[in-house]
Structure 1
Amino acid sequence: MWALRRASTPLRNHGYRVRTSYVFGKLEVPYFWEGNVAGFGTTAALSDRFISFERNNLATWPSSGIYINSHGLSTQAGAENSGEEDDVEDGFSELDETFPTTSPLEDSKAADDNEQELTSGSKWAPSELTKAIWNAPALSVASALDKWVNEGNKLSRDDISSTMTSLRKRQMFGKALQFSEWLEARGQLEFNERDYASRLDLIAKVKGPHKAESYIATIPKSFQGEAVYRTLLANYVVAKNVKKAEEVFNKMKDLEFPMTTFAYDQMLVLYKRIDKKKIADVLLLMEKENVKPSRFTYIALIDAKGLSNDMRGMEQVVDKMKDEGIELDVYTLSILAKHYVSGGHKDKAKAVLKEMEEFDSNGSQWSRRLLLPLYGELQMEDEVRRLWKSCEANPRIEECMAAIVAWGRLKNVPEAESIFNRVVKTWTKLSTRHYHAMLKVYGDSKMLTKGKELVNQMAERGCRMDPLICDAVVKLYAEAGEVEKADSFLVKAVQQYGMKPLFTSYMTLMDHYARRGDVHNAEKIFHRMRQSGFMARFGQFGTLIRAYVNAKTTAYGMRERMMADKVFPNKALAEQLAQVDPFRKTAVSDLLD
């Protein structure tokens, strides 16, 4: 663990001390640690009072201001929040009812298989029980199930598990929750802890994690175990609610549950999104608790280093991963390639992509859907065309979507449209995320009219507007220069569908208003984000201050507002703040004084 923490950015050049107190974190696919850690030599002196390091003993992530003790972690009051909310899922997730222990790629593969079966009808046919729930009116699942049982049909646990899985895969969480409630109310299933955990997860998805937490009190004490709290933890991390996530983590420690890697990996994912400086503290606590890093731990750290554009640190984590005997799979390689591409290291990216292609030569077809968008990002049209041709005769739906993304990045809209039209004809029941891929192509190419036509087509085929599509439409309008229409659309979508917009939808609007120097509307979006429950962070304040800078006007009380939200400027933002400070001094003002 010591070596792993060394594979990160240096701490501030002064002594580092972690005192006693409390914490917590998210994940959605549980990963289990392989035994206890050993051989991670460290110069840290651990005690119940505090952990102290000499000045040069740590070469790790910057200090975060998290307190550590035997209970866990807690965010220090006033700690800097350097990260931003991230609405794009990492691909590490999806808390599944069956709590799988597969890799992220395997989970994705299983989901792809299931989706193809559901949409093409060529491999899998839904059971009569599943069809009864699918066809039931939105709020009448119980009545439909009563009728189904009264007709003499029998239920087995296998039937229930299969039906619940299919409902989850199709994101029919409301009906899945009604199904779970009916099973318990009618005595059709003897609930165990995993069944209660599944119910809690559905409540969190449908009604929110706070309602799910309240549900725990109704669960028999003997079943209020680690699986239940782990599920609650994952959902608070999904919601990016740091305070509640930390509370649940500490609760698990207080209840003396066995702390598997799941909880620590959740924390890594959470802090990777919210504040990367806290990652070192998670690793420190893992070391103190003798918890050995898993494959997922390394993947999260690789991604965090890549997001920080620290290629050397990312490569050091990879080296440590190899030293521990963990081979890089195609999914991990795709993360490396992604960050090499975004960091401008094209030669390194190409080398990794070629290594990924070796998985195809060994009989695996799953690398193509990862390779296509990356080749598109590198503007390697010949490679995109070659890969697409290799699967064009009988492509999986995810390979089609990957090809659409790739052609979109190459600005080849006709090719993307051709594949999308094939998808529409081949798979009869598409989800909003399939439309989102093509909608993004239109948005990036500023093709507003075609984008609007696609949204209408989606509605005609029975797809409901969701936050992802809403986000794409906002960007479609904004990139076409119609920011006011994008703003108006978002307001109407929230009112009509009662949904919470994505963080990126608000940031798109605020960014465009800031470019114009439109302080009034930038402040309006900032306020609406607060109303929607998004905490004010570094990124929001940075964009808001840029609006004042571009408007060449002063920002009264901005420093105080940032301090109230415990957000502290870095050097670049401090320079921008100085430009809009109503009390700043100049050479002339000094003379006048």
Structure 2
Amino acid sequence: MWALRRASLPLRNRVYSVRASCVKLIPTTYTEDEAGISEPPQVAYGGLMSLKKFYHSGHASSKFNVSRRELSSQADANSTKEEDDLLQDGFSELETPAAGDGVENQNLLTSDTYLSDDSEDVEGPQNELELSDTDIDDSTEKKSRKGRAESEIFKEISNANTPSISSVLDKWLEEGKELSRQDISLAMLNLRRRKMYGRALQFLEWLESNKQLEFLERDYASRLDLIAKSRGLRKAESYIETIPESFRGEVIYRTLLANCISQNNLKKAEEIFNKMKDLEFPLTQFVCNQLLLLYKRNDKKKIADVLLVMESENIKPSPFTYKILIDTKGQFNDIAGMDQIVESMKAEGIEPDIGTKAVIVGHYISAGFEEKAENVLKEMEGENLKKNRWVCRSLLPLYANLGKADEVGRIWKVCESNPRVEECLAAIEAWGKLKKIDEAEAVFEMMSKKWKLSSKNYSVLLKVYANHKMVTKGKDLIKRMADSGCRIGPLTWDALVKLHVQAGEVEKADAILQKAIQQNQVKPMFPTYFSILEQYSKQGNVHNSEKIFYGMKQAGYASRARQYQALIQAYVNAKIPAYGMRDRLRADNIVPNKVLANLLVQVDGFRKNPLSDLLD
């Protein structure tokens, strides 16, 4: 890990005072420009990472520190593969939609003749922590990865037409059918894979109340995770108090911490971390990676502190650690620094996986380094693309981002004769980016003849239509989707909302969003809310802007500068003051950036002007 020091630039003026015996992590705030990042010169964070400095003002949001004297010194320098897999599955906002992680996962996806809409990925978080590895034993996982097994009880649960599945489960017992732990594990795995968290939670609650399963710590952790996902962090935290003390270990709190981070709740995540510290749980690589992801999203200045803690506790970075750091560098458009981290990673004997390479390519493209991007794409492709077939779903959208229609066509030809579901979806996305709608539609029609399509499949083409303002085609596709009896999920809601927003029908888009909320199965995605908020803001519709802003909070999306900027712009456009707005920002621990500060001045009801001076 410490080769990262050599990849960093010299630091003339230390930002932090660090002692080996006690490393403090104190949350700080930072300012953003219109693009979301500030422009100060480069500094070396703690001698480890060369990142752009964030200037900040105001007070720290809360006390948050890590002390070697207080935490267990038995830090896990090499976390298990299970932990790394959990983190990859749970927080992979760094993954591109087409990023693959191997042939086995591809087989699992393509084996399903019907992919439920509940399998759609929710934003960011986009992408939440999966506890499937704690829910199942090795044999169940191997069986599922081979795509052979979908348990009978899972089919009964997923096909139930009632909100409550108790009657389905009661009938199962009345018919004399048994439920082994392996049956339960496989059903839970399939429910989680399809993001059917509400039903998975009902299943666990029924199992416990009917004494069909002797709960272990991993079962309590699984139920906690499902409560956090479907009912919120407050209910999840309350549930911990009901767990027998003997099972209330590190796994339980790690699960809650992970959900705090997946829901981007900075304050609660720091609170839970401090609780873990007080309980003297070991500081692991898994926890450090979660903190890095949290601060990457909210307070990049704190990345340095986490790295220093990892150094002091001799916790080596995992591949996912490097992936976060690479993405952070790329976000600053610091390509030279990003390349240095990649070299440090390789020097430690860790070769970037396909997902990490996809992140690198994305930042090369954004920065205008097309030749570098193409070189990495060729590395990903390998010498024989037919043998490396599983990388096609990553290559298709990346070549589209480069505007390489010929390359997209070449890659698609490798897949076309015997395509897989994810390859088709990637191809539709790629052709859509290249504005080749006919090609995208041709792939979709081929899919419809080969498989029974889910709403997820329809949503990819629907998004293409929305992005190109093809309202009539979009509405026709929606009708076709409804006729097919597809289950509607968050990706579909998002595409529907954006289709109407593009058509200038924001009230209709709002009505669709409210219907999605009322269904209360899977919460709408962040971009779904925000696209409506932006439109109401442009109209100067303060009432509806406040309604959507409040709805985002109710859904568990933390208020950030971006939401406030849209909200305050609504007041500006309506030419009315926004009383108490500074207090609201302070309550959400947001320090105004330049854009917000300017907007606040415009909506300040107590602002002095030349006329008011004369009246005084």
TM-score (norm 1): 0.79
Q: Work out which of the residue numbers 188, 206, 220 in structure 1 matches 2:230.
A: 206
Alignment partners' CA distance in 2, 1:515 and 1:141: 44
One-letter amino acid matched to 1:481: G
One-letter amino acid matched to 2:246: S
8 Å Cα contact 1:138-1:175 kept in structure 2: no
Alignment partners' CA distance in 1, 2:419 and 2:280: 49
Alignment partners' CA distance in 1, 2:558 and 2:577: 24
Alignment partners' CA distance in 1, 2:578 and 2:152: 63
Could you list the per-position Cα deviations for residues 85-116 of structure 1 after superposition, in whole angstroms to 9, with x for gaps in the alignment? Answer: xxxxx9932389xxxxxxx9676754543332
Q: Work out which of the residue numbers 94, 97, 109 in structure 2 matches 1:115.
A: 109
One-letter amino acid matched to 1:284: L
- Does the alignment pair 1:274 with 2:298? yes
Q: How many residues align?
A: 541
- Aligned residue in 2 for 1:421: 445
8 Å Cα contact 2:579-2:604 kept in structure 1: yes
Q: Work out which of the residue numbers 191, 197, 204 in structure 2 matches 1:167.
A: 191
Secondary structure in structure 1 of the residue aligned to 2:241: helix
Alignment partners' CA distance in 2, 1:291 and 1:259: 9
Alignment partners' CA distance in 1, 2:8 and 2:345: 14
Alignment partners' CA distance in 2, 1:49 and 1:488: 50
- Aligned residue in 1 for 2:131: none
Give how far 1:123 is off. Answer: 6.1
Give how far 1:203 is off. Answer: 2.6
- Does the alignment pair 1:45 with 2:14? no
8 Å Cα contact 2:538-2:570 kept in structure 1: yes
- Does the alignment pair 1:538 with 2:561? yes
- Aligned residue in 2 for 1:70: 67
- Does the alignment pair 1:410 with 2:407? no
Structure 1 residues 494 and 182, CA, compared in 2 at 3 Å: closer, same or farther? closer
Alignment partners' CA distance in 2, 1:6 and 1:245: 32
Secondary structure in structure 1 of the residue aligned to 2:350: coil
8 Å Cα contact 1:549-1:579 kept in structure 2: yes
Secondary structure in structure 2 of the residue aligned to 1:567: coil
Alignment partners' CA distance in 1, 2:530 and 2:69: 33
Q: Aligned-pair RMSD on alpha carbons? A: 4.0
Mapping of 1:473-488 within 5 angstroms?
A: 473-488=496-511
Mapping of 1:312-391 within 5 angstroms?
A: 312-358=336-382, 361=385, 363-391=387-415
Mapping of 1:453-532 within 5 angstroms?
A: 453-495=476-518, 500-515=523-538, 522=545, 525-532=548-555
8 Å Cα contact 1:400-1:423 kept in structure 2: yes
Q: Work out which of the residue numbers 89, 92, 104 in structure 1 matches 2:88.
A: 92
Give me the identity figure in percent. Answer: 53
Give how far 1:390 is off. Answer: 0.7
- Aligned residue in 1 for 2:470: 447
Higher mean C-alpha displacement, 353-362 vs 235-244: 353-362
One-letter amino acid matched to 2:65: I
Higher mean C-alpha displacement, 398-407 vs 317-326: 317-326
Alignment partners' CA distance in 2, 1:224 and 1:345: 50
One-letter amino acid matched to 2:500: Y
Secondary structure in structure 1 of the residue aligned to 2:90: coil
8 Å Cα contact 2:24-2:67 kept in structure 1: no
- Aligned residue in 1 for 2:150: 126
Could you list the per-position Cα deviations for residues 356-385 of structure 1 after superposition, in whole angstroms to 9, with x for gaps in the alignment? Answer: 111754822221101100111111111111
- Aligned residue in 1 for 2:218: 194
Structure 1 residues 209 and 112, CA, compared in 2 at 3 Å: closer, same or farther? farther
Structure 1 residues 261 and 464, CA, compared in 2 at 3 Å: closer, same or farther? same
Alignment partners' CA distance in 2, 1:5 and 1:591: 61
One-letter amino acid matched to 1:566: N
Could you list the per-position Cα deviations for residues 194-234 of structure 1 after superposition, in whole angstroms to 9, with x for gaps in the alignment? Answer: 22222222232332333232222332322222222222222
Structure 2 portions without partners, runs of 5+: 27-42, 71-85, 93-97, 116-145
Structure 1 residues 135 and 494, CA, compared in 2 at 3 Å: closer, same or farther? closer
Alignment partners' CA distance in 2, 1:551 and 1:257: 52
Q: Work out which of the residue numbers 437, 456, 472 in structure 1 matches 2:460.
A: 437
Secondary structure in structure 1 of the residue aligned to 2:351: coil
Could you list the per-position Cα deviations for residues 416-443 of structure 1 after superposition, in whole angstroms to 9, with x for gaps in the alignment? Answer: 111112222322252x332221111001
Structure 1 residues 211 and 546, CA, compared in 2 at 3 Å: closer, same or farther? closer
- Does the alignment pair 1:568 with 2:567? no
Structure 1 residues 242 and 399, CA, compared in 2 at 3 Å: closer, same or farther? same
Give how far 1:278 is off. Answer: 2.4
Structure 1 residues 214 and 414, CA, compared in 2 at 3 Å: closer, same or farther? same
- Aligned residue in 2 for 1:34: none
- Aligned residue in 1 for 2:248: 224
Give how far 1:531 is off. Answer: 5.0
One-letter amino acid matched to 1:440: K
- Aligned residue in 2 for 1:302: 326
8 Å Cα contact 1:216-1:224 kept in structure 2: yes
Give how far 1:147 is off. Answer: 4.2
- Aligned residue in 2 for 1:16: 15
One-letter amino acid matched to 1:480: A
Could you list the per-position Cα deviations for residues 144-163 of structure 1 after superposition, in whole angstroms to 9, with x for gaps in the alignment? Answer: 44544454544433333222
Q: Work out which of the residue numbers 126, 138, 157 in structure 1 matches 2:181.
A: 157
Secondary structure in structure 1 of the residue aligned to 2:487: coil
Could you list the per-position Cα deviations for residues 453-508 of structure 1 after superposition, in whole angstroms to 9, with x for gaps in the alignment? Answer: 22233333333333332222222222233334333433444346576433222322
Structure 1 residues 510 and 383, CA, compared in 2 at 3 Å: closer, same or farther? same
Alignment partners' CA distance in 2, 1:129 and 1:182: 13
Alignment partners' CA distance in 2, 1:140 and 1:376: 44
Secondary structure in structure 2 of the residue aligned to 1:259: strand
Secondary structure in structure 1 of the residue aligned to 2:148: coil
Alignment partners' CA distance in 2, 1:290 and 1:115: 38
Alignment partners' CA distance in 1, 2:44 and 2:434: 47
TM-score (norm 2): 0.76
